[in-house]
Structure 1
């Protein structure tokens, strides 16, 4: 029993502290007290929305969609582009890699940055309940999306960026809208259990937006392996990233987070990462077997052209570890 619980913690925890102390905590019933939402009522006190702008910097302002003036009074500019950032399991909007994404957008002047914080519903070790809760997160975030549109936002200037389970939440938002989202960026969409048991209602697919862009960095372990977007990027072979060191779990978790770091870099630097068409799916074990189809590259990430399709491979030549909390 102890071994089974320990393995469950390692697979679904993605948590450095749990490797050291989690084996003792499994005997504590409070440790396994998970929040499983059984309602579909929004707003929900466990789901919070925050606004950041270039003018306010890292000072966040909570958005209340029940107040029709909440956005405008918070400094939101309807003439700017919008990004909605959604974290994954065992995450929060105030931890990496979400802060890395937020800061990349803050370095620009042309974005309103909205973050979704569902930390109480995503905490370790409650992966199964977190997975179930994604339906409510998507429903409530769809109300935020509609609230923005009602206040003058343009759908074609709005992007949902989600990491891990957050990527699937971005996709599920479309289940609650009467129009298709314009753009979704899925950062190493989560694989555990979803690859076996989820249908298209739960999973990010190319049907969820006019442009669905996916970056694979830990394909086959914590991240999805298939091409699920209009354009998918397989980075450094897509499985383990060169800057990630240590035991296998730490390397996997680090690689999983690298997707956010790579994308953030493209937000900061125009056309900074060029990828090339390749065959098959992620992961690709050997660069010599990537199956490059041409040398006509496209930018990965923020500047990926609308209408691009297919699988693309890129070697970042990076040996920098992506920090994570």
Structure 2
């Protein structure tokens, strides 16, 4: 028992120093037993790019007075462990999306549940966070502010697992698309489809793997799985956290700046060996669902920005 406790504490310290928002509150948080906490939803549009409008679940009047345009697509952004609505990925992705299209961006803030040094506590809160997001999506739909065909949920790490649970819990339709950015692996690798992100959670699920078997999942769980640089270690990175977060950096760069071309692979082994010779497709291409794209894809990147390599001749 003593050995187990020592290993547990060491693992917590390792995860905490590699987390997004490490604030050195280890002893205050390691035994945290708070519930999932309040999940908050903040809307960003071209009318309010930098100042989000909070829309509480069930508050119809605030929803009606907001800038949410029911005729535009809705993209949900979900942060990971120790993060909040203002993480770098959320801020940069919001701006890039609004530069590209006139859409609604909704940041899901579950920082009350995520702000614990105890990774396992945060992971155990994921299903409830997903249920709350599912109820919020239904709330928008029942008030005619959302078309399920125009919904995309994008989550990083534990946020990707939240996205999966949200997809499982919507009651009025089915989410069109989920993008999982290196979905969190610890705890979730051992779960079946009911307990983690899975291709059944949306009409189309695309997963980008950058730290498989470490902080990220070691399973192929999407309609399409894009494996970067063999999937476990990213060029230019020293620690697993760096490789884990590269998924967000690749995705942000792909929105407006540079495409990431990947080759289709015959199997997972070929992808891990970067020995794929199939057709070229674009990681994160909005047209991938319409093409009914399926399979495993491998791509390589540079070790520093810009991460995208030269577009291949096709």
Residue of structure 2 in register with 1:32 after alignment: 30
1:298 aligned residue (281, 293, 298): 281
Aligned residues: 299
1:308 aligned residue (288, 293, 296): 293
Residue of structure 2 in register with 1:11 after alignment: 15
The equivalences for 1:1-325 within 5 A come to 4-11=8-15, 14-15=18-19, 26=26, 28=27, 30-37=28-35, 46-150=38-142, 151-178=144-171, 179-196=173-190, 198-245=191-238, 251-269=239-257, 272-281=259-268, 289-294=273-278, 296-306=279-289, 307-320=292-305
Residue of structure 1 in register with 2:310 after alignment: none
Unaligned runs of 5+ in 1: 39-43, 246-250
CA distance in 2, matches of 1:283, 1:11: 30
Structure 1 pair 79/4, CA: closer, same or farther in 2 (3 Å)?
A: closer
The normalised TM-score by structure 2 is 0.87
Cα distance, 1:121 vs structure 2: 0.8
Equivalent pair of 1:168/1:204 in contact (CA under 8 Å)? yes
Partner SS for 1:181: coil
Cα distance, 1:259 vs structure 2: 0.7
Structure 1 pair 149/13, CA: closer, same or farther in 2 (3 Å)?
A: farther
Residue of structure 1 in register with 2:312 after alignment: none
Partner SS for 1:97: helix
CA distance in 1, matches of 2:182, 2:200: 18
Partner SS for 1:212: strand
CA distance in 2, matches of 1:304, 1:234: 19
CA distance in 1, matches of 2:249, 2:288: 20
Unaligned runs of 5+ in 2: 308-314
The normalised TM-score by structure 1 is 0.84
Equivalent pair of 1:101/1:261 in contact (CA under 8 Å)? no
Cα distance, 1:284 vs structure 2: 5.6
Cα distance, 1:3 vs structure 2: 6.5
CA distance in 2, matches of 1:283, 1:86: 31
Partner SS for 1:242: coil
Partner SS for 2:100: coil
Please, what is the CA RMSD of the aligned residues?
A: 2.5
